[in-house]
Chains A and B, each alone.
Chain A
């Protein structure tokens, strides 16, 4: 049995592409718009989300038989909040400059529907390992979209990638100020969602 035929493998791959949380489920939009004008900030945010989604799903799955049904949502929020605070403390201590910019959005991971959604829909009903892979898949699917948006926004808005000036900057580049501002994120998100959806729908249509 290959990896993609296992429950965890299927969940991971599905979350990355065909059930992508951002362009298929329209979740995690707030941070997708807010942290994508610099690739470095985006990578840190994505790392934080993958970490939180993976460990939250793992923990919820391990505790699923002990959590009373009436308070399961409260426990899930508590678990997610704890991991988010760990991410926040790590970034604050290791990357203080970046924390100033993305700090408020890291806190908002607690309310990110992607993590809560995976914990409730998958982790609370499945064993630990597939749940963790499902969480990682959701985080990677979110990261995929954010990284694409960030690469375009930073390149056009700043003429750099990860802060390194692109060769074209000295030849013909002109700053697209709108790409640095929130409307640039809206335009990019719409384009990525359109592109992603059209490929997935085309493939699904072909399969039928």
Chain B
């Protein structure tokens, strides 16, 4: 009888707490999804320079993304068959003036997955920006991949045209150094973060993989082989 009572007690208390926590979780899912969507929308507006995110409200940011960013096109990497979303950002809601193109990147950082977007110019050969959307690198070290000093070279324009065989699209360099003209690194180098070598190497690896995939898919698009 005592054993039955104990088991019943456990069942009742587990059911009560389980139901309470599940209810709370379900009631918060909408807010969590909204937060996730807003973080991405804010990042895209900032990446393409479509407005000042500090002064814009959540609604205005959502409207800009809805009316000025076209997400309808998807490219195909002929080598792997994988789909690469191609974002087109326009200067106004009528979508008459193209600002830039964009595509996502993702990969494993030092601790966990890093993801974001790279913006490229109309020729699809030069970057015009980089925005990290999700990362959990060490605060103050690897997490500095979100800071202006790290993304500046991408905004200034890094060459992502097809490199010579055996060479990389992008290189990680020592902070403040410049690659010599004529070397494979020239125009393709971004600064590493002091004290966060593993995160910097991970960024170099994942950006090269994403740019290579985009390059193949974009070249496939221009040749009309799709």
Contact = CB atoms under 8 A, between A and B. Distances in A.
Interface of A: 37-38, 41, 63, 66-68, 70-71, 74-75, 78-79, 81-82, 85-86, 89, 92-93, 96-97, 100-101, 157-158, 177, 180-181
B6 A181 contact: no
B134 A100 contact: yes
A101 B136 contact: yes
Contact of B9 (A67, A96, A101, A157): A67
B139 A70 contact: no
Interface stretch (B27-35, B54-62, B119-127, B206-214): B27-35
B25 A71 contact: no
B40 to A, nearest CB: 11
B138 A78 contact: no
9 contacts: A37-B139, A71-B9, A71-B10, A78-B13, A86-B21, A89-B28, A101-B139, A180-B138, A181-B141
Given A68-B5, A71-B9, A96-B36, A78 B24 contact: no
Given A82-B17, A93-B35, A96-B36, A177 B28 contact: no
Nearest to B25: A89
A82 B20 contact: yes
Interface of B: 2, 5-6, 9-10, 13-14, 17, 20-21, 24-25, 28, 31-32, 35-36, 39, 134-136, 138-141, 194-195
A72 to B, nearest CB: 10
Nearest to A41: B139
Contacts of A86: 21, 24
B138 A85 contact: no
Contacts of A92: 28, 32
A44 to B, nearest CB: 13
B6 A85 contact: no
A85 B22 CA distance: 10
B6 A70 contact: yes
Contact of B13 (A75, A157, A177): A75
Given A85-B25, A89-B25, A180-B139, 8 more contacts: A68-B6, A70-B6, A75-B9, A86-B21, A92-B32, A100-B136, A177-B194, A181-B138
